[in-house]
Structure 1
Amino acid sequence: MDPDVEQGYRLHCVLSNLNRLDIDKLDDADQERVETARSLLEKVNHLTRPDNGDETEAQSDP
């Protein structure tokens, strides 16, 4: 599988799992963590590789 597609799929799965959580049953600190994680994942558009061709390190594009 294309690494970019695989990363996008994983991000989608994580976000889907977070959206399925019943956060009302979590304590306040965990609710805040889940909301923060959702917010950060929703900001990720796609992953890009550095211009130097080094494929070992991926960066999120702001």
Structure 2
Amino acid sequence: MKLPSAGCRSRYSGSLCDQGYGYLWSSSFSGLSPKSLRFYSTGADLSNFTKQPTGLSVRCIKDKI
């Protein structure tokens, strides 16, 4: 599976930020803080502090039935 390392779009200015990092939204949601995954060349981590107006990549994955 290929994952884009497109960075993110700032919720404040609309400019690109963190280029070279990949961010993906999770389907998990808790209150006003959706979860996201950040990945980079040496690892990855989960975040629950990314606010919704921040632009992250979306990757749809179909469950096998």
Q: Which has the larger radius of gyration?
A: 1
Q: Is the TM value for this pair above 0.5?
A: no
> Which structure has greater helix proportion?
1
TM class, shorter-length: under 0.3
